[in-house]
Amino acid sequence: MQNLILKVILCLHIFTSAVLYTKTSAQSAKQTVKNYQETPEKVNDLVHTKLDVKFDYGKKYLYGKEWVTVKPHFYATDSLRLDARGMDIHKVALLKNGKLLPLSFACNNSNIEIKLDKVYKNTETYTVFIDYTAKPDELKNGKKNEKGLYFINPDGINKDKPIQIWTEGETENSSVWFPTIDKPNQKTTQEISITVPSKYITLSNGRLATQTMNTDGTRTDTWKMELPHPPYLFMMAVGDFKIYKDSWRGKEVSYYLEPQYAPFAKDIFGETPDAIAFFSRTLGVDYPWNKYSQIVVRDYVSGAMENTTAVIFGESMQGNKKELADRYYSTGIAHELFHQWFGDYVTAESWSNLTLNESLAVLGELLWLEYKYGKDAADAHNFEGIEGYLNNPDSWGKDLVRFNYADRQEVFDGVTYQKGGAILYMLRNNLGEAAFNKGLQRYLTENAYKPVEVHQLRLAFEEVSGKDLNWFFNQWFFGAGHPDLHISYKWDDSIHTETIYLQQEQPGRPFVLPVAIDIYTGGKKERYNIQIKEKLDSLTLKLPVKPDLINVDADKTLVLKKTDAKTMDEYTFQYFHAPLYLDRYEALEAAIKNQHEKRSHDIIQSALNDKFYSIRIKAINALGLFNEKEITQSIPVLKELVVNDKNNLVKAAAITVLGKLKKTENTGLFKQSLNTV
C-alpha cells in the first residue's frame, strides 16, 4: 500500500498542453449571460464503465482500476476529457489488442485530459485504462455533501455505530470515486468488482454476477448492469447488513438493513412489490431493471437516493414495530421507486430540467397514496406540498425549468419537487387519467435510456391527447409564480341570477386556468367547466333559486392561492356535501376562524369523526382555540378516539388534549392506550 502511494506521479509533469486549458472567446461570451447553465456538450459518449475497487479504511482511500469504453459523439477527436476530482492518477493507457499502450495526459483537481493515439471517428469505440487513488476526504474546494464516497466510522472507534462505506453521486459527485464524464446526459453500462473484508456485504447496481473468496481474507463481488444509466446513479455500499429477499414477477426485490432491524424488513419495505406492480400497470411500462434493492445506511447526506436498482435511504427509514406504528405512511418508497422510470430509465439531460426527475417522483408519491390509501391521502399530501411552496415567497419568482442558477443544488427545492408535482397532478386532472397515463407511457417508450428535456414530455402528452399544451408548459414549466385568486359572488333575487367574480390579484400577467365550478341547488349538483384568462373574469348564471353552494375549483387541483367569500352556511354545506378532502379542510379552516358562529360548532364536531385522519387531528388540535363548552362537549368523542381510532397519530392528538384537562379520571385510559400498540 505504501509502495503504491510512492509510485504516484505528479501527472501535470507528463503532459502539459496550454491549448487544452485556454478559454475560448465563445466560452467567455456565454459567461456574460448571468449564470446561464447550458446543457453539457457531448464530445465523447460513455459506452461502458468497468471498475475494480478496494478500500483503505485507515486512510479513507479507494484504490481503483478502470476500463472506460468511449466513442466520439459526432465529430472526430483525438482527445478525451474525464471528470476526476481530487484523485491521484497513476497510469493512463489505451487498451489495444489486449495490451496497454501508455497515453499522455494532464490532470488537475477536477479532470483528466487524455491525448489519444489517433483521431477517432464516431463509428469507433476505444477503451482507456486508468489506475488511480480516490481520496474523498482530502477533496479540495469540495462543497459539503460532495465527497461522492463516504467512510462511516472507518476505524470503529464509535462502538454504537456500524462501520460502513457508501456513495452518493448526485449531482456530479461520482467523479470523486471514479473518472467519468460526470454529466446527466451520459449513459453507460457498468461492471464493478468490489474487494472487501469477507465479513462484509456489498451492494451495487444490477445483478451480483460473481463472488470470489481471496486468499488474504477478502472477497471480491462483481456487480453488472447490462442496461445503460447515468454516472450519477452508480452506487456502492459496504457493511454489516442483513438481506431480506422478496420478489416481483421473478425479479429480486431485496431489503438491506442493519442486523437489529432485519426482523422488521417487511414492516419497513413490505409494500415495495405491490408498488412495483402498481407503477408498471399505471405506466404501461414494466419495471425496466433486473432487480430492485433498498438499503438503509448511517449518516446519509440526503433523505434517499434513487441509484438505479439500488436505492439508499437514510437511517430515519429504519424502525422497530412500535416506531413504525406511528408512521401512517411513507412516501419515500414510492418516490425512489418512481425514479427508476423517471430519472433512471429516462433522465433529465441537465439539472435545469430536474423537474423531469423530481416533479415526476413527487407525482409518483401522489399516485401511490391515491391507490393505496385513497384520494384523500393523495389530495392532503399534494395540498401540503402546495402550502409549503406558497409559504416560501422566495420561491415564487423561480421557473420550474431553471436555466439560470449559481449552484446546482439550488434547483433541488420546493419549486422542483412539490410545486412541480402539483403541476403534474393538475395536468393529470385536466387531461384525464387515461390520456395522462398514456402520455407518460409514450414519453417513457420513446425516450428509453436517453437524456431528455421538458419539451419531450409536452410532445408526448400532445401526441396522445391531441391537445396543444404549449400554453400550459410555457405558463407552468417555463414560467414562475401562481395565481392569487379572489372569488366573490352576487345573487340578484329580482332576476334570479348568480354572478361569480374571479379576480387574479397577483402582480404581472394573468394565468390561463381551466376552472371547474359545481353549483349545488335543490339537492342537485351541476358542473360548469370554464377557462379564465383575464385579471377579472365573471360568470353569470340564471338559476331557479339561490344555490346552496357554488364550489369554484371543484376538483381542487389548481395550483394557486385562494380567497373565497363563502358564508359559514355555504362552508357548512360544503363540509357535508362536497366530495373532496380539501372541501372539508377548507370548511374546517373557516370554522376555526369563525368560532362564534353556530355552524362552526357543527363542522368541528363532525370533523372530530371525519373519515380522513388528518382532518380529525386538525379538529382535535383546534378544540383548544374554542371555548371551554366546546371542549367539555367533545370529551366523550375524544375518549372514543383514544380507544378506537385506527390511527396512532389521532390517538396521540386526542390524548394530548385530554391530558391538558388534568383530570385523574383519564389516567386509566392513557395507561390502557400505551399498551395497545
Distance from chain centroid for Cα 57 = 32
- In sequence order, the β-bridge partners of residue 530 are 515
CA distances from 312 to 308, 317, 618 (A): 10, 10, 33
C-alpha cell at 629: 363548552
Short-list 580, 515, 575, CA closest to 548: 575
CB nearer to Zn ion: give 361 or 444: 361
Helix axes 454-465, 420-431, angle to 10 degrees: 10
User: CB-wise, 269 or 575, nearer to Zn ion?
Assistant: 269
Cell of 128: 482507456
Classify residue 510 by burial, with Cβ atoms within 10 Å: 0-12, 13-18, 19+. middle
Kindly state the smallest distance separating residue 358's Cβ from Zn ion, in Å: 5
Pick from 245, 250, 302, 290: nearest CA to 270 = 245
Distance of closest approach, residue 452 Cβ to Zn ion, in angstroms: 16
Between 443 and 585, CB nearer to Zn ion: 443
Whichever of 361 and 440 has its CB closer to Zn ion, that residue is 361
- CA 663/CA 656 separation, integer angstroms: 12
Residue pair 324/263 in contact (Cβ under 8 Å)? The answer is no
Nearer to Zn ion, 192 or 233 (CB): 233
Task: Output the smallest distance, CB 341 to Zn ion, in A.
Answer: 12
- CB-CB neighbours of 226 under 10 Å: 13
**What is the nearest approach in angstroms of Zn ion to the Cβ of residue 647?**
27
CB of 360 to Zn ion, least distance (A): 9
Residue 253 vs 337, nearer CB to Zn ion: 337
Q: Give me the least distance between CB of 168 and Zn ion, in Å please.
A: 13
Would you say 80 or 304 has its CB closer to Zn ion?
304
- One-letter amino acid for residue 474 of the chain: N
Write out 377-434 in H/E/C secondary structure.
HHHHHHHHHHHHHHCCHHHCCCCCCCCECCCHHHHCCCHHHHHHHHHHHHHHHHHCHH
- Closest-by-Cβ residue to Zn ion is 361
Is the four-CA dihedral 40, 42, 48, 51 of positive or negative sign?
A: negative
CB-nearer residue toward Zn ion: 162 or 314: 314
Minimum separation from the CB atom of position 330 to Zn ion (A) = 14
Least Å distance between CB 342 and Zn ion?
9
Closest among 384, 380, 472, 491 to 428, alpha carbons compared: 472
CB of 357 to Zn ion, least distance (A): 6
Q: How far is the CB of 522 from Zn ion (least distance, A)?
A: 48
Name the residue nearer to Zn ion (CB basis): 358 or 413: 358
Q: What are phi and psi of 547, to 5 degrees?
A: -70, 155
What is the grid cell recorded at 230?
447515468
Closest residue by Cα to residue 129 from 149, 99, 152, 150: 99
State the Cα–Cα distance between residues 192 and 204, nearest whole angstrom: 8
Q: Residues interacting with Zn ion, by CB under 5 A? A: 358, 361
Rg (CA), the chain: 29
Q: Which is nearer to Zn ion, 239 or 364 (CB)?
A: 364
Closer by beta carbon to Zn ion, 79 or else 272: 272
Q: How far is the CB of 275 from Zn ion (least distance, A)?
A: 15
Query: 171: cis peptide before it, omega within 30°?
Result: yes
408-445 b/e (C-beta count within 10 Å ≥ 16 → b): beebbbbbbbbbbbbbbbbbbbbbeeebbbbbbbbbbe
- Judged by CB, which is closer to Zn ion: 80, or 233? 233
Please state the closest distance from residue 301 (CB atom) to Zn ion, in A. Answer: 14
Query: Considering beta carbons, is residue 457 or 560 the nearer one to Zn ion?
Result: 457
Instruction: State the minimum distance, in angstroms, from the CB of residue 129 to Zn ion.
Output: 34
Per the DSSP assignment, residues forming a β-bridge with 105 are 114
| Residue tagged 397514496 (cell numbers) | 369
